[in-house]
Amino acid sequence: MGKYVLGVDLGTSAVKVSAVDHAGQIVAQESFDYDLIQKQPGYNEQNPEDWVSGTTVAIVRLILNDHLAAEDIEGLSFSGQMHGLVLLDENNKVLRPSILWNDTRSTPQREEIEVKMGDRFVDITRNQPLEGFTLTKLLWVKENEPEIWAKAKTFVLPKDYVRYRMTGNLAMDYSDATGTVLLDVAKGVWSQEVCEAFDIPLSLCPPLIQSIDFAGTVTPAYAEFSGLTTATKVYGGAADNAAGAVGAGILHPNMVLSSIGTSGVVLKYEDNADVNYHGVVQFEDHAIPNKYYSMGVTLAAGYSLSWFKKTFAPAEEFTDVVASAGKSTVGANGLLYTPYIVGERAPYADADIRGSFTGIDGTHQRYDFVRAVLEGIVYSFKDLFDIYEENGGDFDTVVSIGGGAKSPLWLQIQADIFNRKVVSLKNEQGPGMGAAMIAATGLGWFDSLQDCAETFVHFGKAYKPNPENVAKYAKMHAIYSQVYQQTKAISAQLLDYRRTELTSL
């Protein structure tokens, strides 16, 4: 029998635990679902105990059902859902359900931060104080639940709480700490200036560790609970986006990630903290010590295509709908789609903007609309690429994952619009693989995450830009870039109309 590491991917709806061997092969995988607590619109919470129980059940299943010997599991690490607030008392007991990343109750607190600190806040944290980040949640509790706040002695994020329950040690890794927007990113310490501005005790912030740092061994109590041995070593782990970047091999300055899920993410490796995007894109610590990444989000990337299929081709296979775009032309015969159907985050932080098809005439066929959707999603990514280029970003390889990596046509569209080589992964496993790579590197199986990637990460076919298509897409993207400003006011008026109509019903 070989030796294994476990990658614990702690998501919003489920935890998935993967057992990975020295060759980077997943030998077994188990998962466990848990529920959201939604007390009212905009509220999204979870019971931290559900994360602990779910993770433990998945590990027990690996040992009992998949017949992994506990003594062969040398170590484990985490990928964790970001930003979720877990408040602990003086005995490290949970004070209230965790307020999650997708909870939107804290708009007044976001506005308070903007008024009080303005651009200074962005200079320190490199991020805007969005509702999703942890600081706004801390302030909400402080202002709305003073009896809870009075008992709070420390806070952690979701994966950090599970790690604490395994090892008895409290800590937070840098990649997750950046997402709290309490970290001074350039200095790599909790920001005393931010804490003092909002009357938050600096002691509330936990010790900081690197993602690959040793965080402790499994305690006797957790060993009995899970079936692991007390020799199992636990490592810091990373925020899900950082772990996903590791799992996709985004470990060098020349690489950018293009991820098309329900939302879309463009993520770029950053060699140092010198660049300042002024909060237009998020800036975070990477899982690699003293390295960083930046990322922008398109809210309705894959969701745009799902919406289109559900509305106009409900009975057809997804792959057939996407493939039909091949009947159209580069530029979809002059048809443009903007994917703002649920608002937008980057580069336009605009909740009221709405999507559009522009340039429709009587000759367009359904396949032109499909092509326009595929291209429109990638144009929105190109907006973020342009920000990187304006700030001196130098990269030549795009790693495509998610829905955009499942279609050769869509991969070529990305290569032509980005004017970069685009590659997919042969065995796409996402953040869970990144967590396993962190554990393997921490254990010393490899000298660095980059060395680990040479064994664990395998790229597929490379799609290279076609110069003729690149030129055509450059013209179309220039037109696309004007649509936001032209439709912003109209979108807001239409949204007001809809809200008024709904209120009058």
Domains within the chain, CATH numbers bracketed: 4-236 (3.30.420.40), 249-504 (3.30.420.40)
Provide CB contacts within 8 A for 408, sequence distance 6+: 463
| pLDDT the model gives residue 500 | 83
CB 55 within 8 A of CB 8: yes
Tokens, residue 429: 């496993």
Asked if 209 and 173 count as a contact pair (C-beta separation under 8 A), the reply is yes
Q: Which residues pair with 77 in a beta bridge?
A: 7
Candidates 336, 257, 265; CA nearest to 300 is 265
Q: What is the pTM of this model?
A: 0.88
Dist. CA 431–CA 428, nearest whole Å: 10
- Mutual angle of helices 302-312 and 366-390, in 10-degree steps: 170
Helix or strand run (H / E) with residue 459: strand 459-463
Write the pLDDT tens digit of every residue in 59-79: 999 999 999 999 999 999 999
DSSP assignment letter at 172: E
Nearest Cα residue to 425 out of 302, 199, 255, 201: 255
Which amino acid is residue 121, in one-letter code? F
Tokens standing for residue 269: 């490796």
Per-residue pLDDT tens for 452-494?
A: 999 999 999 999 999 999 999 999 999 999 999 999 889 889 8
Strand partners, 6: 19, 76
List the catalytic residues.
240
The answer on whether 295 is annotated among ligand-binding residues is no
Q: Which candidate, 299, 395, 381, 379, places its Cα nearest to that of 337?
A: 379
pLDDT per residue, tens digit, the chain (505 aa), is 589 999 999 998 899 999 999 999 999 999 999 988 888 888 899 999 999 999 999 999 999 999 999 999 999 999 999 999 999 999 999 999 999 988 888 989 999 999 999 999 999 999 989 888 999 999 999 999 999 999 999 999 999 999 999 999 999 999 999 999 999 999 999 999 999 999 999 999 999 999 999 999 999 999 999 999 999 999 999 998 899 999 999 988 899 999 988 888 899 999 988 888 888 888 999 999 999 999 998 888 989 999 999 999 999 999 999 999 999 999 999 999 999 988 888 888 787 889 999 999 999 999 999 999 999 999 999 999 999 988 887 899 999 998 888 899 999 999 999 999 999 998 888 899 999 999 999 999 999 999 999 999 999 999 999 999 999 999 999 999 999 999 988 988 988 888 787 666 5
Closest CA to 226 of 52, 479, 11, 14: 52
Q: What confidence tens digit (pLDDT) does each residue in 401-429 have? A: 988 888 999 999 999 999 999 999 988 88
| Amino acid occupying residue 29 | Q
Count the Cβ atoms, other than its own, within 10 Å of residue 319: 10
Model pLDDT, residue 133: 92
Task: Give residue 318's identity as a one-letter amino acid code.
Answer: F
Residues 179 and 83: beta-carbon distance below 8 Å: yes
Instruction: Give the Cα separation of 260 and 477 in Å (integer).
Output: 19
* Cis, peptide link before residue 206, omega less than 30° from 0: no
CB 176 within 8 A of CB 238: yes
Q: Is 82 annotated as a binding residue?
A: yes
Q: Please give the helix or strand (H or E) that residue 131 lies within, else none.
A: none
